[in-house]
Structure 1
Amino acid sequence: MALGLREISGEPVIDSENGEELMRVQPGVDIALSNLPRESPGTLYITTKQVIWVSDVDKSKGYAVDFLSISLHAVSRDPEAYPTPCLYTQIETEADDEINSDNSDSESNYVHDLSNIREMRLIPSDPMQLDTLFQVFCECAELNPDPNAEEQEEEHDWIFSADQMEDEEAEEEDYMSHNPTNTLGHSNGHHDLARTILELQINDQRFEDAEEIEHDEKDTHH
């Protein structure tokens, strides 16, 4: 499956044979792609697999993006971020690594290739619909989990959940309470250091015993 936004022509096609279902149709939605001019008006189609926008002015013009390509979606009501309340999305593309973020002119030209567009804003004429659209996006995103997520979890299996961390801390506290001489070394993960500290403590005790013996011998001679 290719990542990124793609252009479509005509009414949206739903792949019902493979289980794709239409979740919501929202009329009166404008669209803004990256830094390109805002396009309006249009109709938004949200299915279990993709997001489709079709222009009401020119039915042959439209855009589609799979949920697997949408890495983030959020409701934006901050006028400093965008003048109009909208549903903001970030899109993963196959060319992300090729764009030089330090060269704005290059990026401006690059963004005209739809496969390289990384931001999409959906702007309903009724801002009250934003929360509903956001919820539908959340439901569809759950239906399309990242196929690489399981591999990433296996690669980073050293990351513990809160319950696991609590169990680890409890075991460590129990260990330290029964092994007070190992506290410093164990807490830093260096058992050799703990052994060295223990040996130093034993040696210190030996030195103290030697000094006491020497002192007793001197008293005896006197």
Structure 2
Amino acid sequence: MTSSIAAAARKLGVDTDVSLTEARDVVLETADEEELTSKCPGVDFVLGDDMNAGAGVLHLTTRRVVWVSSQPSGPAFALRYQQIMMHAISRDPTSYAKPCIYLQLDEGSEDMGMGGAGGDGEEEEEEEQVSAEVRLVPAEDAKVDEIFKVLCDCAALNPDSEVEGEGDFFFDEAEVMAGLDPQTRAAVIADRLEEGMDLDDQGEGEAMENGTREDLEQLVGNDPSRFEDDEEEDEGQGQPDGAQ
């Protein structure tokens, strides 16, 4: 049973090659500045719907969720927080018999969750049916909320790489203009002209590369008098005080 769980875990991207000390404590990844935040014994590790690896010690670090079997030669499983798509407390007895921490995993590639080559048909069929879910089931129901809070705090330290820094990306003006559809880009150009901005400041090569100047010439060519008032107003604003 243990080998089946380990095989299924690997198919779901769960690390089964966890470095442990002789006392079966987790070896922290110092290069990644990993720190141990919480250690809770008496927690079952359930993969999928009912593949229970038995009781073990749950280690919550600043980088990983690590479960180590209480058996001397038992398995150990590790998950990085980026692999966890969703985490929640489950107290619904129709979902699982005991209150637990529910983790939905990122299934990653299409090969995950599929039976590997070389195994017998029965094992492959079992692996194919394993859903990308993990349940951490403490022996003491009261521990659920405590574990969940620590897990949430640690997960917040490890934002997903796809959304990390969202809103902090910087683009130059030419890149922004190039990403607009022609109609919107023309409207933006018109607004800029009304504000008295000179498009030549963008750089001729950059503007031509992204189509900005071409779009402007086409827009003005279709209606040459469209911006005459604005240009005259701009010229008037540019004269020194007292000029006639």
Look up the match of 2:15: 6
Identity %: 34
Task: State the SS of the aligned residue for 2:147.
Answer: helix
Q: In 2, Cα distance between the equivalents of 1:28 and 1:98?
A: 29
Retained in 2: the 8 A contact 1:4–1:118? no
* Number of residue pairs matched by the alignment: 145
Match of 1:71 among 73, 79, 85: 85
Look up the match of 1:31: 45
Residues 180-219 of structure 1: pairs in structure 2 closer than 5 A: none
Residues 1:122 and 2:136 aligned together: yes
CA RMSD of aligned residues (A): 2.9
Retained in 1: the 8 A contact 2:56–2:67? yes
Retained in 2: the 8 A contact 1:35–1:108? no
One-letter amino acid of the counterpart of residue 85, structure 1: P
Task: State the SS of the aligned residue for 1:138.
Answer: helix
Name the one with the larger helix percent: 1
Look up the match of 1:205: none
Please report the TM-score for the alignment, with normalisation by the length of structure 1: 0.57
Q: Please, which moves more after superposition, 145-154 or 29-38?
A: 145-154
Q: In 2, Cα distance between the equivalents of 1:15 and 1:8?
A: 13
Residues 1:133 and 2:160 aligned together: no
How far off is 1:28 after superposition?
Answer: 0.4
Look up the match of 2:232: none
Task: State the SS of the aligned residue for 1:45.
Answer: strand
Match of 1:110 among 128, 138, 143: 128
Larger radius of gyration: 1
1:24-44 Cα distance to aligned partner (Å, 9 max, x none)? 000000111003432222100
Q: In 1, Cα distance between the equivalents of 2:166 and 2:126?
A: 33
One-letter amino acid of the counterpart of residue 110, structure 1: E
Please report the TM-score for the alignment, with normalisation by the length of structure 2: 0.52
Residues 1:90 and 2:104 aligned together: yes
CA distance change for structure 1 residues 106 and 35 in 2, over 3 Å: closer, same or farther? farther
Retained in 1: the 8 A contact 2:90–2:101? yes
Structure 2: stretches of 5+ with no match in the other structure: 1-11, 115-122, 170-244
Match of 2:63 among 42, 49, 68: 49
One-letter amino acid of the counterpart of residue 7, structure 1: T
